[in-house]
Amino acid sequence: MSSQARPWPAQGDVLISDPSPLTGERELYTVVSADVYNSAGGRTVLVAEIETGTRYRATAFATETDYGIVLADRVVWLPVDMLGQHFGRLAPAQREQVTVQIISILRGS
């Protein structure tokens, strides 16, 4: 099913925020919560920040993607109505790597 036909964001979707009312800047995020959670109709989705500047490089806790560096230590729950627009999708291997990195951070291993 394409992202356009889905009524909910899927794990690995890349989203671009609406412009900030203060700065006008937009941010990229990727959805990291599981699809079983995302499709249940909850009001929030777990996302990881994507750094598009040059401050970060791929590390044990950051994955390089076509959209920028996904920071596994920068996850936050966002309301679904604040996610912004669909921008793209991580490759399956990148999505898996980000998930493993987040779990590693949470477990402390």
- 18-37 pLDDT per residue, tens: 998 999 999 999 999 999 99
Give, in order, the Cα–Cα distances in Å from 30 to each of 87, 90, 108: 10, 8, 22
Q: How many domains is the chain partitioned into structurally?
A: 1
46 located within any domain:
yes
pLDDT greater than 70 at residue 44 = yes
Mean pLDDT for the chain? 90
3 located within any domain:
no
Range of the domain at 58: 13-107
pLDDT greater than 80 at residue 5 = no
Query: Would you give the end-to-end CA distance of the chain in angstroms?
Result: 35
Mean of pLDDT values over 45-66: 87
Interval 75-101: pLDDT, tens: 999 999 888 999 999 999 999 999 999
55 located within any domain:
yes
50 located within any domain:
yes
